[in-house]
Structure 1
């Protein structure tokens, strides 16, 4: 079911000075000199379309630097006047909205910690009623597509049609190379539900370190996202917040120079015919895979009935270990990604357990003699 959002095309409210779209600036506005110097260096690259800066910084724990506050809006206003770059800040309360708009901020964004709370989002939405300003909504901290959609709908219902989303990754219990797991599939689902909604990727918060930013930035563009939001600081080594994930303006410029832009589609008959033929093969293989899974579940059902009738538990850990070991080795020999194989097998196993649990709760059929 498609989302029914009333939207204006991004090109009508956000002018790109270069491709791809880039929103850049320091994680936090620390001092006036720091912000102005960084802004001028970013503007000098000619790569950024918007200058961002954190004014209010919601932190995980108290005692950390939580933003310079309202005074930073005056610095941002001066940076806009001197560089010509439109500005963007995060807002988390109605008061933030009012102060940011009064200071002439051009774009507002709702942060991940706010998106997760419908009460907070509604407060921001109420403050935006009657205002014509672009608003970007970051995904919630936890991987919940409905929360993300709900936040977008609340802002849209307030009359904001210059609306976009920011994909900044999701918190995960498992520790990986990323600060926040990309979980691309959630952003893809959102794009599928609302193709006209612009989605901007935030590689800084996904990566948590500058070394991975080029990889995530390129992948985001390959996934047809409309742009990037990247944190950039005059001297990241002394940054008051998120020092490891910020780039110098010169490093940012170099990154943008090395990104490859690809077209979402090509209107060429030879290309489209070849692509259609390959997709037809994919469709046939998908049908075969689904058919085989259905056949597997039929066997699972028989196993479940046999276990039930003989008073055997559903789960046998040794058998599951054997499956994972053998199938993973086979998949590796076929050059399939082990992470994908593991997730696929776990999904199949979970459905098998669910099916056998249903069978265990059914009484066996006693044949009449």
Structure 2
């Protein structure tokens, strides 16, 4: 249920009103804009009489929310959420680019790539230390050592780190990680999502390979309901009946989520297509659709990469792409 307070309601009056709902067992989400203060009641509100709620002298309007996701809904939070990571923000109109190797292989490798992508304009460094792989015989990542190499690259370049967490037992190694990625395979690992709600760190939540948009938002809701509203959504393509690409990139998710949710949505063109030559075109399409960011795989020797080299751009290709993207963004009045 959404309760809009009347203009002029004092903070004391609002706090007393909120406390009255908490005493009844409801959670209360507060969204304060320039002209409106909106309270979102969390819990089973089906038995509440909207007319009785409206009778309160501080209440302007009362509205039931039909969507199962509440905190992720734009109805609850009309203004865009801006997620800050270091000196970079997602959701404020800029289009930050996250770039780096699929897997961290050596310290020299990740530092070299970090320097290259930063020089080209990337704002954050991605790199996998713990890798979920379809085959148990594939390279699984360097684990804790890989995270140490990412921290070295961060110290060398100043780029914030984005890396994937697969298991809550790994969290003890993530103190220096700036954004925790929850991958497609863990999108509905609800116990893990609840734990992410306790971290306070920005969470990059990837859409599952066969997940609906509603399911993606419900997974975000798990994190937010557990106390962490710093969620960045990520579209990385979904499986379809065709196999000419690794996945099918759903760029229509960007305008749709901008309509129904306040959370920023970024695009991963690398995992979407799985083919290096397609990545620049999909990245351009994502920017044209007003994505709130991109995450792109870059490797200094893609042919010899231990993971996903076929979809990784060479640093020179990435630099060329980064010269074109601002031109597309400018059409919509945005910057990369």
- In the superposition, the TM-score normalised over structure 2's length comes to 0.71
Report how far residue 27 of structure 1 moved. Answer: 0.3
Q: Which residue of 1 aligns with 2:127?
A: 53
Distance 2:207 2:152 in 1: 30
Q: Which residue of 1 aligns with 2:173?
A: 99
Residues 1:169 and 2:244 are matched in the alignment? no
Q: Which residue of 1 aligns with 2:103?
A: 28
The answer on whether the counterparts of 2:83 and 2:230 sit within 8 Å (CA) in structure 1 is: no
Distance 1:29 1:12 in 2: 25
Aligned length: 257
The answer on whether the counterparts of 1:94 and 1:123 sit within 8 Å (CA) in structure 2 is: no
Q: Rg bigger for which structure? A: 1
- Name the CA shift for 1:248/1:265 in 2 (closer, same or farther; >3 Å): closer
Higher relative contact order, structure no. (Cα contacts within 8 Å, ≥ 6 residues apart): 2
The answer on whether the counterparts of 2:184 and 2:207 sit within 8 Å (CA) in structure 1 is: yes
Poorly superposed stretches of 4+, deviation over 6 Å: none
Distance 2:117 2:85 in 1: 21
- Of 64, 72, 76 in structure 1, the residue corresponding to residue 138 of structure 2 is 64
The answer on whether the counterparts of 1:221 and 1:262 sit within 8 Å (CA) in structure 2 is: no
More helix by share: 1
What SS does structure 2 have at the residue aligned with 1:255? helix
Residues 1:231 and 2:297 are matched in the alignment? yes
Report how far residue 98 of structure 1 moved. Answer: 2.9
Greater mean alpha carbon deviation, residues 49-58 or residues 9-18: 9-18
1:181-234 CA distances to partner (integer Å, 9 max, x unpaired)? Answer: 01334454333221x211110000112111111211111111111111000111
Distance 2:294 2:320 in 1: 14
Q: Which residue of 2 aligns with 1:334?
A: none
Q: How does 1:173-212 map to 2 (within 5 A)?
A: 173-176=241-244, 178-194=245-261, 196-212=262-278
Q: Which residue of 2 aligns with 1:127?
A: 195
The answer on whether the counterparts of 1:231 and 1:245 sit within 8 Å (CA) in structure 2 is: yes
- Of 258, 283, 306 in structure 2, the residue corresponding to residue 217 of structure 1 is 283
Distance 2:168 2:200 in 1: 15
Residues 1:10 and 2:59 are matched in the alignment? no
The answer on whether the counterparts of 2:107 and 2:152 sit within 8 Å (CA) in structure 1 is: no
- Name the CA shift for 1:11/1:137 in 2 (closer, same or farther; >3 Å): closer
- Name the CA shift for 1:62/1:31 in 2 (closer, same or farther; >3 Å): same
Distance 2:291 2:87 in 1: 16
Report how far residue 147 of structure 1 moved. Answer: 2.1
Structure 2 runs not aligned, ≥5 long:
1-65
Distance 1:129 1:168 in 2: 22
More strand by share: 2
The answer on whether the counterparts of 1:43 and 1:85 sit within 8 Å (CA) in structure 2 is: yes
Q: Which residue of 1 aligns with 2:227?
A: 159
Report how far residue 254 of structure 1 moved. Answer: 0.8
The answer on whether the counterparts of 2:83 and 2:231 sit within 8 Å (CA) in structure 1 is: no
What SS does structure 2 have at the residue aligned with 1:261? helix
Greater mean alpha carbon deviation, residues 57-66 or residues 10-19: 10-19
1:227-266 CA distances to partner (integer Å, 9 max, x unpaired)? Answer: 1100011111110011111012221111010121145579
The answer on whether the counterparts of 1:222 and 1:262 sit within 8 Å (CA) in structure 2 is: no
What SS does structure 1 have at the residue aligned with 2:132? coil
Structure 1 runs not aligned, ≥5 long:
267-369
Report how far residue 54 of structure 1 moved. Answer: 0.6
Distance 2:210 2:170 in 1: 24
Distance 1:4 1:75 in 2: 39
Distance 2:220 2:186 in 1: 12
The answer on whether the counterparts of 1:97 and 1:124 sit within 8 Å (CA) in structure 2 is: no
Q: Which residue of 1 aligns with 2:35?
A: none
Distance 1:80 1:233 in 2: 17
